[in-house]
């Protein structure tokens, strides 16, 4: 009990110590240890109702480091170190995106490292599609891809199979990616399905002669209609929601395909690439919904398949 009284007295201001000590000692003669401690707490609260001054020390900045370096081979190396909170959030995000695919194109044989690499790419796509993305030089962050119209119009990389199920021989074509590297014209064709388009006319020495106004190839109104119709990636067995998807032109716009609901289908990045590079084909059925024809090596009859995982919007009564 003496220790309790001494502990209280060390916190009492000097001008009030005599009165406080008298109250505590007289009370202690008839009370127990807990009652004396409670009285001491009430005395301290009365003398200093606001309590101790808040700690105004700025919290330490979390440790976050990241380096992204491009190698001569065209691959990029990523290395970083993060605080526990950031690492936990990143792990939760990548875990959700790195699940094994359940589509009907076959078993997912990717290694864990490959699945997390694809998940990181998907996370970048989600961030770039965010309307609140910070500006760069007055524009939303973007990467410019430059490709010749001839290469873009070619059937390079398209998955058009004949009756034998063999792929046509692809012609060579390249596209310039940003200021650093190149991609194939087939890859550029995939990106061109759903992009921000700036028409350009170049001279004989690749000097820009005229630049048109930027416009989105799939405008917001049609994109919302796609979201309502397909409810996510339309590929059979895929569970990806609309925010993870891109608009794919069934007949490519470079080949004269219109940007309208009857020529578009919603697809995640993985199945979008699969459609451009394999024997799968997509079409709009007579009921206005997309259906997919598997390649011959999966189904000789090429029976149409649909995604039945996404629930359609309920119709009003």
CA angle 83, 68, 87 (to 5 degrees): 20
User: In the block, which residue shows the tokens 């490292």?
Assistant: 113
Q: Could you tell me the two tokens for 211? A: 């630049």
C-alpha–C-alpha distance, residues 201 and 185, integer Å: 18
- DSSP element (H, E) containing 225: helix 220-230
The partner residues of 147 in beta bridges, in order of sequence, read: 175
Pure H helices in 70-219: 84-97, 112-128, 149-153, 185-191
The answer to whether the beta carbons of residues 159 and 280 sit under 8 Å apart is: yes
Beta strands 264-268; 174-177: pairing state: unpaired
Regarding pTM above 0.85, the answer is: no
Instruction: Please name which of 267, 268, 271, 306 lies closest in space to residue 285, comparing C-alpha atoms.
Output: 306
Per-residue pLDDT of the chain (317 residues; tens, 9 = 90+): 677 777 777 877 787 778 877 777 777 777 777 777 887 778 777 776 655 666 666 666 778 899 988 888 878 899 999 888 888 889 999 998 888 887 667 778 889 999 999 999 888 888 877 766 665 545 555 556 666 666 555 544 343 333 333 343 444 556 665 555 566 666 666 666 666 655 555 566 665 555 555 555 677 888 888 888 999 999 998 888 888 888 888 888 767 788 888 899 999 888 888 887 778 899 999 999 999 999 888 889 999 999 988 876 655 33
DSSP per position, 7-76: HHHTTS-GGGHHHHHHHHHHHHTTS-HHHHHHHHHHHHHHH-TT-SPP--PPPPPP--EEEEEE-TTS-E
Work out the number of other CB atoms within 10 angstroms of the CB of residue 87: 13
How far apart, in Å, are the Cα atoms of 52 and each of 48, 56, 138?
8, 12, 48
C-alpha–C-alpha distance, residues 4 and 8, integer Å: 6
């Amino acid at each position: 009990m003496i220790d309790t009284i001494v502990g209280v007295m060390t916190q009492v201001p000097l001008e009030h110590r005599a009165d406080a000590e008298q109250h505590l000692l007289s009370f202690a003669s008839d009370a127990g240890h807990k009652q004396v401690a409670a009285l001491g707490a009430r005395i301290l609260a009365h003398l200093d109702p606001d309590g101790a001054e808040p700690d105004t020390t700025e919290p330490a900045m979390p440790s976050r480091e990241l380096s992204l370096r491009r190698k001569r081979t065209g691959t990029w190396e990523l290395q970083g170190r993060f605080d526990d909170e950031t690492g936990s959030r990143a792990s939760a995000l990548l875990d959700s995106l790195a699940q094994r695919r359940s589509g009907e194109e076959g078993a997912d044989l990717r290694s864990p490292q490959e699945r997390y690499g694809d998940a990181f790419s998907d996370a970048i796509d989600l961030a770039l599609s965010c309307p609140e993305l910070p500006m760069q030089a007055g524009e939303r962050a973007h990467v410019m891809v430059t490709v010749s119209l001839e290469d873009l119009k070619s059937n390079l990389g398209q998955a058009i199979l004949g009756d034998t199920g063999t792929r046509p021989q692809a012609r060579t074509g390249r596209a310039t990616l940003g200021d650093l590297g190149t991609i194939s014209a087939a890859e550029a064709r995939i990106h061109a399905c759903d992009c921000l388009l700036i028409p350009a006319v170049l001279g004989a020495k690749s000097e820009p002669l005229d630049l048109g106004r930027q416009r989105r190839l799939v405008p917001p109104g049609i994109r919302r209609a796609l979201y309502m119709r397909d409810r996510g990636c339309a590929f059979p067995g895929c569970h990806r929601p609309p925010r993870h998807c891109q608009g794919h032109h069934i007949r490519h716009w470079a080949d004269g395909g219109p940007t309208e609901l009857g020529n578009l289908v919603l697809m995640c990045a993985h199945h979008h690439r699969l459609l451009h590079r394999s024997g799968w084909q997509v079409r709009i059925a007579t009921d206005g919904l997309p259906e997919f024809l598997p390649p011959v090596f999966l189904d000789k009859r090429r029976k149409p398949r649909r995604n039945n995982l996404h629930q359609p919007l309920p119709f009003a009564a």
